């Protein structure tokens, strides 16, 4: 087996093997088998290297998840040590393990309000899905099974399972798969771009709240279980709601007895400068918070639902003697190696004040990115601290039309050619660099993006698109 591994490592045609055998998440099916993927094989700090030896500055942060940087020996050691001590044991029923118990206590300490109960999952999707199930259980256990409808938003992204894809509201992702539509309802996308929105933030906020109230009334508040919301919509295009939106929607939920689930898979663990952004940035203490990705800095798969004491106590007290079981969870819930990684990640983030670092470089990142607005093919630059997006357009019609998408793809390709990875999505270039990014790295990102935009603008001008 060792010889085989060595042989695989030396294989120069890994992209061909991958193209032949892997069905990638969000694969371009028309290119299936012919598209040669970039195969990454090593990484250090904020940079990753592919199987052909090219190094890139990773402004995607893996996939929003890299916090302490690649190649962190301390994290690798924590993972190795735990794997040697006890690689796995189930956490079903009344069995636990050391790292899971310690991590649960730590998360309760870091989270706002009375969110003191942790339900571990395998990632973000399973955590969001679990939160919705907890909301269903919570009301059904109180004799209100009809209170099961769920509010989400257009452009939301909550995961890749059946339920979480149904909750997600990205038009481009609604394909030939089947989606749950009976109890899931999408409100309008709440993004407000002060540079481009014809409405003021106040007017937009009023519009969004009126719509939410009307939808709750249409469904009947007695039928609505929860509202699931990213504080800032990430994959949907880094969309920031107007000021006060998170607080006002929480108040609306409270007024109608609807649970508020804050999906902090991206906004949590430092990306906005705090372990959790719900209270620190948006002044809300939700009923549940979802975390994943940055919780382990991407070193291990892990997710969690942080649940309020009120919910935990209610479902515990309401559990009937004939059906007392909380039948939700996964083989890898509370995985000891993943929890050990999260504990060490939190230790490093706290010791090195990584959240403070993000609060320091975040505004610089945004200010430097906004210089790109000088390019004729940049429609807008938006974001917050270390989550950002550059939206491209040909100067004719804004939005994800074919021309704008081709233009953004060209910008992405030129960035990649120059050693910078930005995440292409429709006509957007999305950026979420590792949180340890330095000012010099930020200058490098903006420099490369600037050149890529100039080259793409020249292509557009010369009709080469
Ligand atoms: N929620 C949000 C806001 C996300 O961005 C993601 C993933 O990108 C998820 C949930 C799903 O997480 P996972 O891919 O770990 O299942």
Question: Which pTM value belongs to this model?
Answer: 0.96
CA of 157 to the centre of ligand 1 (A): 7
CA of 374 to the centre of ligand 1 (A): 33
CA of 404 to the centre of ligand 1 (A): 26
Cβ of residue 124 lying under 6 Å from some atom of ligand 1: yes
What mean pLDDT do residues 58-79 have?
98
> Residue 123 and residue 190: Cα distance in Å, rounded?
25
User: Each residue of 102-137: pLDDT tens digit?
Assistant: 999 999 999 999 999 999 999 999 999 999 999 999
Domain boundaries, the chain: 38-68+353-461, 74-351
Cβ of residue 238 lying under 6 Å from some atom of ligand 1: no
Closest CA to 57 of 455, 450, 442: 442
CA of 204 to the centre of ligand 1 (A): 27
Give how far Cα 105 sits from Cα of 22, 41, 119, 351, 430, Å. 39, 35, 12, 18, 34
Cβ of residue 128 lying under 6 Å from some atom of ligand 1: yes
Owner of token pair 């429609």: 379
Query: ipTM value of the model?
Result: 0.99
User: Each residue of 69-92: pLDDT tens digit?
Assistant: 999 999 999 999 999 999 999 999
Give the residue, out of 122, 130, 232, 292, with the most ligand 1 atoms within 8 A of its beta carbon, to mutate for a pocket test.
292
> Residue 240 and residue 189: Cα distance in Å, rounded?
10
> Residue 141 and residue 273: Cα distance in Å, rounded?
38
4: confidence class by pLDDT, cuts 50, 70, 90: low
CA of 65 to the centre of ligand 1 (A): 10
Closest residue (by CA) to atom 1 of ligand 1? Answer: 158
pLDDT of residue 216: 98
> Residue 225 and residue 25: Cα distance in Å, rounded?
30
Write the CATH number of the domain with boundaries 38-68+353-461: 3.90.1150.10
Closest residue (by CA) to atom 12 of ligand 1? Answer: 124
CA of 101 to the centre of ligand 1 (A): 24
- Give percent of the chain with pLDDT exceeding 90: 92
Q: Which residues, 6+ apart, have CB-to-CB distance to 14 below 8 Å?
A: 8, 39, 51
For residues 343 and 357, the answer to whether their CB atoms sit within 8 Å is no
Question: What is the atom index within ligand 1 of the atom nearest the CA of 123?
Answer: 15
pLDDT of residue 12: 59
Give how far Cα 37 sits from Cα of 15, 27, 46, 160, 408, Å. 5, 10, 21, 21, 19
> Residue 195 and residue 389: Cα distance in Å, rounded?
14
User: Each residue of 254-281: pLDDT tens digit?
Assistant: 999 999 999 999 999 999 999 999 999 9
CA of 309 to the centre of ligand 1 (A): 25
321: confidence class by pLDDT, cuts 50, 70, 90: confident
Beta-ladder partners of 306: 118, 289
The DSSP bridge pattern shows strands 224-229 and 184-187 to be: unpaired
Cβ of residue 234 lying under 6 Å from some atom of ligand 1: yes
8: confidence class by pLDDT, cuts 50, 70, 90: low
CA of 159 to the centre of ligand 1 (A): 5
Q: What's the mean pLDDT when you consider all of the chain?
A: 96
Cβ of residue 387 lying under 6 Å from some atom of ligand 1: no
Determine the topology of domain 74-351 in CATH.
3.40.640
pLDDT of residue 11: 59
What mean pLDDT do residues 439-453 have?
98
pLDDT of residue 320: 72
CA of 265 to the centre of ligand 1 (A): 6
Cβ of residue 342 lying under 6 Å from some atom of ligand 1: no
Cβ of residue 158 lying under 6 Å from some atom of ligand 1: yes
pLDDT of residue 166: 98
259 alpha carbon, distance to own chain's centre = 21
What mean pLDDT do residues 175-200 have?
96
For residues 407 and 463, the answer to whether their CB atoms sit within 8 Å is no
Cβ of residue 341 lying under 6 Å from some atom of ligand 1: no
């Amino acid at each position: 087996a060792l010889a085989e591994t060595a042989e695989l490592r030396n294989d120069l045609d890994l992209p061909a093997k991958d193209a032949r055998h892997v069905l990638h998440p969000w694969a371009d099916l028309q290119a299936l088998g012919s598209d040669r993927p970039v195969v990454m094989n090593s990484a250090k700090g904020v940079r990753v290297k592919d199987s052909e030896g090219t190094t890139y500055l990773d402004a995607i942060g893996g996939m929003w998840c890299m916090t302490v940087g690649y190649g962190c020996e301390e994290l690798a050691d924590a993972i190795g040590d735990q794997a040697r001590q006890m690689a796995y044991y189930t956490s079903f029923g009344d069995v636990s393990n050391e790292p899971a118990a310690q991590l649960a206590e730590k998360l309760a300490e870091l989270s706002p309000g009375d969110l003191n109960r942790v339900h571990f999952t395998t990632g973000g999707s399973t955590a969001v899905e679990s939160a919705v199930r907890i909301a269903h259980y919570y009301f059904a256990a109180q004799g209100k099974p009809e209170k099961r409808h769920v509010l989400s938003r257009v452009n939301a992204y909550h995961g890749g399972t059946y339920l979480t894809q149904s909750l997600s509201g990205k038009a481009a992702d609604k394909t030939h798969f089947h989606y749950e539509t009976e109890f899931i309802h999408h409100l309008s996308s709440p993004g407000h771009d002060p540079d481009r929105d014809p409405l003021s933030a106040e007017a937009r906020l009023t519009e969004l709240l009126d719509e939410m109230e009307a939808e709750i009334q249409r469904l009947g508040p007695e039928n609505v279980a929860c509202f699931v919301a990213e504080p800032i919509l990430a994959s949907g295009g880094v969309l920031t709601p107007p000021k006060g939106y998170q607080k006002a929607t929480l108040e609306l939920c409270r007024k109608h007895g609807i649970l508020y689930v804050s999906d902090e898979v991206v906004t949590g663990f430092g990306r906005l400068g705090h372990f959790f952004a719900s209270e620190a940035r948006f002044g809300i203490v939700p009923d549940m918070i979802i975390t994943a990705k940055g919780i382990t800095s991407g070193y291990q798969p892990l997710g969690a639902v942080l649940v309020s004491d009120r919910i935990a106590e209610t479902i515990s007290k309401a559990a009937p003697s004939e059906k007392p079981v909380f039948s939700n969870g996964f083989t890898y819930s509370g995985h000891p190696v993943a929890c050990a990684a999260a504990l060490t990640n939190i230790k490093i983030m706290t010791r090195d004040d990584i959240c403070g670092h993000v609060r320091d470089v975040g505004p610089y990142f945004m200010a430097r990115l906004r210089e790109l607005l000088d390019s004729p093919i940049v429609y807008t630059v938006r974001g917050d601290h270390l989550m950002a997006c550059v939206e491209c357009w040909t100067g004719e019609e804004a939005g994800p039309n074919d021309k704008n998408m081709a233009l953004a793809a060209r910008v992405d390709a030129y960035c990649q050619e120059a050693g910078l990875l930005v995440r292409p999505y429709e006509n957007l270039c999305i950026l979420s660099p590792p949180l340890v990014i330095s000012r010099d790295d930020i200058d490098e990102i903006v420099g490369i993006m600037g050149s890529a935009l100039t080259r793409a603008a020249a292509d557009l001008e010369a009709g080469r698109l």
